[in-house]
Structure 1
Amino acid sequence: MKLRSERLPLACSTQPAPEAPAENCNHAALFATAEELLVKRMASGDPLARFLRGQLYYEEGLYEEALIQFEKIKDVDFQAMYQLGVMHYDGLGTTEDPERGVEYMKKILYSDSPKARHLKFAAAYNLGRAYYEGCGVKQSTEEAERLWLIAADHGNPKASVKAQSTLGMLYSMSAQKDLKKAFFWHSEACGNGSLESQGALGVMYLYGQGIGQNTKAALECLREAAQRGNIYAQGHLVEYYYNRKFYSTAAAVAKRITDHKDTDALAKITDCLPAYVTKGVAMAAFYLGRCLQLGLGVQQDQAAAEKCYSRACLLDPDVA
């Protein structure tokens, strides 16, 4: 499980670097320019420069260098403390130490300092994930729920929206199942821009889960989420088109989905749970297989159908 890092402005975006010849304007040159600028700002006593330097290294994947910068200011900079919490938890630039990562997040969440205020809700979201997974702390779904509710209401917009979507997922599961609460939180997250929750809302409208069945609203949610890259929504659209005998459309959409090979990369790009991305691809593969097997909307091809069924079963045995 990976904690969420804060993506904060870097030095190169806060103070423009001198213009360079076009041929030198590549990534390495820009990185070197930003690094040089930050070293100068540190030397002049800029209190933000060291954090920004650490953040620059972090964004570049230079975690050991980032760790050094953050460690030097962790007692006076809550942003550095937050990033250290993420790095120790996930083992970035240091030995994985989830207990220490949790300790940093707790310090931020329960600090009385005004300087920690904007990070409290991101810390609460991350702590909720730690409790839910039982990593670094004793597993407790109840504590995870409490922390996500804190993060979902106010504060850091990104953490709040992610917490809202996560609560929607939590209340959709059997142990905490409360579909009305799930619908409420997915609605909140969707209204705040969550692609994941937009797809989930479409499915809930389609099947009348936590809300009265509304096919028109379902299709609006699913189609818009699909256009934005939600693979789970795309998979449900394939199923919808197939069941209503729009075979050509179902097969065409399914083919585009099954062309994707790296579901983990898709999950990262769309900020959606990998399990739901995988489910969407599996659904598409299954219905494409049906179309190919029966010659519905496409030319009949038994060998291609078998490949689709195999992929669907491999990704999600419950789909087939």
Structure 2
Amino acid sequence: MVSKLNILKSLFLASGIAISFNGCFFSSPTFTIEEENIGVQECHKFEKNEQKIECYDDLSSDNSMASLKLGIFYADANDYDKAYDYLNSSKEMGNYYANLPLAYLYFKGNGVEEDSEKSLELLKEAAHKDPNAAFQLSKFYFKGIGIKQDTKKGLEYLISAANKNMFVAQKQLAMIYSKGFHTIKKDLVKAKYWQEKANNNKKDSTFNIYKL
């Protein structure tokens, strides 16, 4: 079966406004995700995870996407030391998608010393590119977990994720505007807009990058 990074989903993709992070950015890597995906796509032809992992392992020394996939696999297997090594390698090669699972490890203290500030820092770095990172940032701002509560910032990051076609973010915006939330006033026009965006969102692929 295809892994969907269960450990991340259990913490980061819970329904409702629960947690969040924020945003400073870094320069784009010299590679493109599409280019590196060409290499890992050869691994997708295998049905068994064991074969995929072996394929990713062969590529991982110079392919950040392969390292990302291996990090996700070992995180799901609760082998956090290996997960950290592969995810950190992926990040060092310039893959900002490694930031989200690394942020999870630091937030929970799995394989590394628990460090919520480091977790926030990682999400800040990736939020401008990865809608999942922006989504988590929004939740931490809304609740003020590990950071000063800032509803305006939370809304900015949630909208950023929604504009990148993230279904969960669109649904949350529809909910927020339909009821109001902290300093965000009820706005039925905006609620309808985001609900329609969610209803028409048939191809949300924002989380696909984290599938094995």
| TM-score, normalised with respect to structure 2 | 0.68
Distance in 1 (alpha carbons) for counterparts of 2:56 and 2:205: 27
Deviation at 1:76, TM superposition (A): 3.4
Residue 164 (str. 1) matches residue 134 (str. 2): yes
Distance in 1 (alpha carbons) for counterparts of 2:115 and 2:66: 27
Deviation at 1:168, TM superposition (A): 1.3
Aligned partner of residue 153 in structure 1, secondary structure: coil
Q: Which residue type is aligned with residue 175 of structure 2?
A: V
Contact conserved, 1:3 with 1:86, CA < 8 A, in 2?
no
What is the total number of aligned residue pairs between the two structures? 175
Distance in 2 (alpha carbons) for counterparts of 1:223 and 1:77: 38
Identity %: 19
Distance in 2 (alpha carbons) for counterparts of 1:70 and 1:186: 33
| TM-score, normalised with respect to structure 1 | 0.47
Residue 183 (str. 1) matches residue 158 (str. 2): no
- CA RMSD of the aligned region, Å? 3.2
Change (3 A) 1:78 1:214: closer
Distance in 1 (alpha carbons) for counterparts of 2:175 and 2:190: 10
Q: Radius of gyration: which is bigger?
A: 1
Q: Paired residue for 2:59?
A: 73
Contact conserved, 2:97 with 2:126, CA < 8 A, in 1?
yes
How do 1:1-320 residues align onto structure 2 when only pairs under 5 Å count? 1-2=6-7, 48=39, 51-57=40-46, 60=47, 62-91=48-77, 96-110=78-92, 116-117=93-94, 120-154=95-129, 160-175=130-145, 176=147, 177-206=149-178, 207-226=180-199, 228=201
- Per-residue CA distance 1:221-246 (angstroms, 9 max, x = gap): 234425548xxxxxxxxxxxxxxxxx
Q: Which residue type is aligned with residue 107 of structure 1?
A: S
Distance in 2 (alpha carbons) for counterparts of 1:134 and 1:224: 36
Deviation at 1:3, TM superposition (A): 5.4
Aligned partner of residue 143 in structure 2, secondary structure: coil
Decide which structure has greater helix share. 1
Contact conserved, 1:128 with 1:148, CA < 8 A, in 2?
yes
Distance in 2 (alpha carbons) for counterparts of 1:213 and 1:151: 30
- Per-residue CA distance 1:17-73 (angstroms, 9 max, x = gap): xxxxxxxxxxxxxxxxxxxxxxxxxxxxxxx4xx4443322xx3x111122222233
In structure 1, runs of 5+ residues without a counterpart are 15-47, 111-115, 155-159, 230-267, 272-320
Q: Which residue type is aligned with residue 190 of structure 2?
A: A
**Higher RCO structure, 1 or 2 (CA under 8 Å, sep 6+):** 2
Q: Which residue type is aligned with residue 198 of structure 1?
A: Q
Distance in 2 (alpha carbons) for counterparts of 1:269 and 1:164: 15
Distance in 2 (alpha carbons) for counterparts of 1:71 and 1:133: 26
Deviation at 1:123, TM superposition (A): 0.7
Distance in 1 (alpha carbons) for counterparts of 2:181 and 2:139: 16
- Per-residue CA distance 1:125-154 (angstroms, 9 max, x = gap): 221122223322222222211111101124
Deviation at 1:8, TM superposition (A): 7.1
Distance in 1 (alpha carbons) for counterparts of 2:119 and 2:51: 32
Change (3 A) 1:161 1:54: same
